[in-house]
Amino acid sequence: MSIEMMKTRTILLILVMGLCLPGAAQNSRSQPATSAIAVQATGKAASGSNLDIRLPLEQHSVRFAVIGDSGTGDREQNEVAQGMEAYRQATGFDFVIMLGDNIYGSHAPQDFVQKFEQPYKPLLDAGVKFYASLGNHDDPYTETLYKPFNMGGERYYAFRKGDVAFFALDSNYMDPKQLDWLDQNLKSSQGAWKICFFHHPLFNEGRHHGPDLDLRNRLVPLFERYKVNAVYSGHEHVYERMKPENNIYYFVLGNSGKLMTHDLRDSKDRIKGFDTDRGFMLVEITNSKLYFQVISRTGETIDSGELPKQW
């Protein structure tokens, strides 16, 4: 890339951020984004910048965003969504996985508009696909049939992006049929990477909920037997990156709409936690590594890193 091209790209991204980041268009916001924005879309963090991209943006990589417990329809959900759009334009992710509680409260048609279609309109308009999993606040019937959630009428399903196989599970109702399905599908999967996502975390250190031990008992043996690489859950309204358990990476992201402030207890099992604002995660998967970046509602990078492919 020439210097001129990089300059142009930087200017464009500054404009995008100005339009998209929460606070830029809403002067009344309590925590406005800083106006001094410089962007390096080359993968390295730009010091003193807001739109700080820590993904390598390699060719042929799989890039996606992660949101959990998002569907409030509140201002904060909209602000997170605006940040996502800014980063989409910068990183080119083309799908989002949803960790449940996609629509809180009433599930009338207007709720789907207010709590999903409106906040993520720029992403939907840009062709970004959303893949939902069900949380305890979701309506399993209406949401599985709602096309933009891409569940195909099923409570649990699998899909593939490049070399990455994704398994969306219904942790509300992990019946023997679903466990058999997961066993068969993990066993037969040809994906070089295997990612599972569902609502209830197996490992977490939040005060409000904590881990689901019975679910952990049933799922972890399958994850380990079939070499799952990473697991994403929501439910606890915080962000947590746990220490890998038997080489599997466990993330909790339940703060894309809801927030449980100061919910995290001290734990030696957690590498990074964040419980003072909402956020979303970006993930990029290459042949050998999983890169991630967690961005708060105000545009701050909360956590980032690269994780090697374990198997």
Partner 1 sequence: MRAAGTSRSRQLWLVAVFSFLLVAGAFSQASDDAALAKDFQDRVNHYVELHKETGVGSKTSDSPDKVAQEKHDAREKIQGARASAKQGEIFTPRIGSYFKRQIAATMQGPEGAKIRTSLRHAEPLPHLQLKVNAPYPQKVPLQSTPPTLLMNLPHLPGKLQYRIVGSTLVLYDVASGLVVDFLPHALPPA
User: Where does this chain bind partner 1 (CB under 8 A)?
Assistant: 105-109, 111-113, 136-137, 139-142, 144-148, 151-153, 171-177, 179, 200, 209-215, 217-218
- Residues sharing a CB contact under 8 Å with residue 132, sequence separation 6 or more, in sequence order: 98, 100, 102, 138, 143, 149, 150, 151, 168
Q: Which is nearer to partner 1, 34 or 136 (CB)?
A: 136
Which residues, listed in sequence order, are joined to residue 194 by a DSSP beta bridge? 165
Nearer to partner 1, 57 or 222 (CB): 222
> Of the two residues 112 and 223, which places its CB atom closer to partner 1 in the complex?
112
What is the spatial distance between Cα 146 and Cα 154, in angstroms, rounded to a whole number?
Answer: 11
CB of 70 closer than 8 Å to CB of 98: yes
Residue 110 and residue 21: Cα distance in Å, rounded?
Answer: 25
Using the minimum distance from each CB to partner 1, give the nearer residue, 48 or 221: 221
Rounded least distance, CB 81 to partner 1, Å: 18
Least distance from C-beta 232 to partner 1, angstroms? 17
Bridge partners for 244 per DSSP = none
Q: Around Cβ 7, how many Cβ atoms within 10 Å?
A: 10
In the complex, minimum distance from the CB of residue 151 to partner 1, in angstroms, rounded to a whole number: 8
Residue 105, number of CB atoms within 10 A of its CB:
11
First to last CA, the chain: 34
Nearer to partner 1, 176 or 308 (CB): 176
Nearer Cβ to partner 1, position 112 or 193? 112
- Least CB distance from residue 152 to partner 1, whole Å? 6
DSSP string, 69-104: S-TT-SHHHHHHHHHHHHHHHHH---EEEE-S--S-
**Interatomic CA distance for residues 13 and 16, integer angstroms:** 5
CB of 166 to partner 1, least distance (A): 18
As measured in angstroms, the least distance from the Cβ of 214 to partner 1 is 4
190: tokens are: 């040809």
